[in-house]
A and B are shown apart, each in its own frame.
Chain A
Amino acid sequence: MNNIIELKNVTKEFKVLNRHEGLKGCIKDLFSRDYKIVRAVDNIDLEVTQGEIIGFLGQNGAGKSTTIKMMTGVLEPSSGNLIINNRIPYTDRTKNSQEIGVVFGQRTQLWWSLPLVESFKLLKDIYQISDENYNEMLELYGSMVDIETLLHKPVRQMSLGQRTLSDILAAFLHNPKVVFLDEPTIGLDVAMKSKIRELILELNRKKNTTVILTSHDMGDVDALCQRIVIIDKGNLLYDNEISHLKHFFGIYRTLKIRPRENVIEVANKLKDELYAFEVSITNDDTWISILVNEEKNRIMKVLEAVQETHAIKDMQLKEISTEDVIKKIYEGGVRN
């Protein structure tokens, strides 16, 4: 078996109480046995080989976290087979943990008030890392990042970027076979983002670690992953090479404008006026977003057309987001 991760028909259902409204409803709920079954993950198949970096994408509530929690052994699948490293994670949680590493973007797993090196020493004991492997790993880290400034700083005094970096280093310390990274670059500036991406890529190459990455930032996915898995409403929507999709978010860009007049009115007018450009238009309270296919129309042309009839207060140009990609897949723009 070459697959490090294997999911077959994995389904996870939650029992949720049907809540009633109001005070009367609250009292009713106390005694109610009226449950509904919510399928968070629905019949997912997935195979991952050692050393891959997989971008695991999906909107909030799509079932990403649930799937990851099943793979890490925190949750038990309702049905189906889930094998990580020839083990069932839920029944063999301790042994599974020995061979995986987990980083949750904003939640540090390090000891809050300890200097990083002390956290490392505790992890060394907990994972029973030999002196040899431990020193080798520290040496490797030293060649990748400025480890000396991190090691002696208490985690609570670190900046978010330093903390994320430290968390990633800690997750790789025991040389796990699989590392789960959940939103590793969330809230970081551009420089730190690219530093963290480089680090992940290098660790993956040097240690042949499988990485499962979830992110809302297409930049992360673009920089790191060869393969993308998209999950939506509990279903596997897409599982293919990134090159397949890349084409797609390469050519699409979002033009965001803020009109001087009423946003909703302008948005409605634009839908007619820009009909020829084949764009899709959405709006919130202050911004109108126009998704432009640059293969068909240049963005400047669209902007010009808008400016002809409407006064613009402000504008932005945005790369396509995960949400847009998913929307496009739904619309049938990409074939799996």
Chain B
Amino acid sequence: MKNVTGNESGAAIKRRGLVFYTKIYFKIIAQDIKSKMSYRADFIISTIGIIATNIAGFIAFIIMFGKFPSINGWSYYEILFLYGFSLISITPTQCLLDNNWSLRRYVYDGDFVKYCFRPINVWFYYVSEVFDVKGLGQLVFGIGALVYAWIKLAIPVEFLLIMKIIVALVTASLFMMALQNAAAASCFWIQNSFWLLDISLKMKDYAKYPITIFNDVFRFIFTFILPVAFMAYYPSLVILRPDNVPVLTWLSPVLGVAAFYGSYKLWMKGASKYDGSGS
């Protein structure tokens, strides 16, 4: 980072780059976690809650898919792989963008204006305020399911494959974040935007199934309109169907970055036209 020294009053305001934001982010998060712990009962109950939710979801999954040895050519463990994959890829959205759930309320009450007065990026400042620790519980379950499926499917543990799965996970996370971010941003234009955000959350439930089990209409929607298929299916084909990877899979990392950037731009556009009514 370059250090630009101002002439007046010796104040040196550095350009706020990636290093600056990363540093600030970790400081804010450390404080946030510290303060969450200070509501001790709340912290313990919500930790138990998230573990229970995950166990319940997992049991439902086993009961449902344990009955069928395969669905549409997808074996039980392959579906378990997708399940774990989608749990991991939802984690960044859950942990990092949790404050987006409250955006509607802030905008509606006029409280959002307070985020506009700091000399840092508004989106960053807003989402950095809350880090949802509960998301980490999900991550543990996701990794568990994925590793178990990996072993059962006898996929070799190779460096290249591991790199591939990491890229695939990052890609899927980007799509997931993009969808939630864009849905949250809609509140800058639409008064009652909660249902959009709610739908975006429900979408992750469809993400855990191979897209081939849906009919053509849904397949089209989930691929080109709501990028649900990119949240687990397309990226994980690299590992599960290495001989038959469609073009969309190879394109997905680029599309993921584009989708996330687009959702960020949309959010920022909304924030800049925000007029702070109600104060």
Contact = CB atoms under 8 A, between A and B. Distances in A.
A27 B118 CA distance: 40
B27 interface: yes
Interface string B16-44: 10000001100110011011101100000
B178 to A, nearest CB: 24
Nearest to B28: A122
B7 interface: no
A98 B15 CA distance: 12
A120 to B, nearest CB: 12
B116 A114 contact: no
B116 A72 contact: yes
Interface string A29-71: 0000000000000000000000000000000000001000100
A129 to B, nearest CB: 9
B105 interface: no
B13 interface: yes
Interface in A210-265: none
Counting contact residues on chain B (CB < 8 A from A), the size range is 20 to 34
Contacts of A93: 116
A125 B276 contact: no
A114 B27 CA distance: 12
A182 B36 CA distance: 30
Contact of B23 (A14, A75, A121, A125): A125
B274 A111 contact: no
B275 A75 contact: yes
B147 interface: no
A111 B28 CA distance: 9
A185 to B, nearest CB: 17
A128 B14 contact: yes
B276 A69 contact: yes
Contact of A126 (B31, B38, B119): B119
A193 B126 CA distance: 31
Contacts of B34: 114
Interface in A82-122: 93-95, 97-98, 100, 102, 104, 107, 109, 111, 113-114, 118, 121-122
Interface string B239-258: 00000000000000000000
Interface residues of A, number: 30
B120 interface: yes
A97 B31 CA distance: 23
Given A113-B35, A122-B27, A122-B31, A104 B113 contact: yes
Contacts of B274: 74
Contacts of A95: 119
A73 B275 CA distance: 11
Contacts of B68: none
B5 to A, nearest CB: 12
Nearest to A90: B272
B37 to A, nearest CB: 10
B117 to A, nearest CB: 5
Contacts of A113: 35-36, 38-39
B269 interface: no
Contacts of B111: 107
A113 B16 CA distance: 26
Contacts of A128: 12-14
A100 B16 CA distance: 18
A114 B117 contact: no
Nearest to B9: A175
A104 B114 contact: yes
Contacts of B116: 72-74, 93
B72 interface: no
A127 interface: yes
Nearest to A113: B35
A116 to B, nearest CB: 12
B269 to A, nearest CB: 13
A122 B24 contact: yes
A154 B32 CA distance: 12
A81 interface: no
Given A74-B274, A114-B31, A98 B119 contact: yes
30 contacts: A69-B113, A72-B116, A72-B117, A73-B116, A74-B117, A74-B276, A94-B119, A94-B120, A94-B121, A95-B119, A97-B117, A97-B118, A97-B119, A98-B13, A98-B119, A100-B117, A104-B114, A107-B114, A107-B279, A111-B28, A111-B35, A113-B35, A113-B36, A118-B31, A121-B27, A122-B28, A125-B23, A126-B118, A126-B119, A126-B120
Given A69-B275, A74-B275, A122-B27, 13 more contacts: A74-B116, A74-B117, A75-B275, A75-B276, A94-B16, A94-B119, A94-B120, A97-B117, A100-B117, A107-B279, A114-B35, A122-B28, A125-B23
6 closest residue pairs by CB, A with B: A113-B35, A97-B119, A98-B119, A102-B117, A74-B116, A109-B114
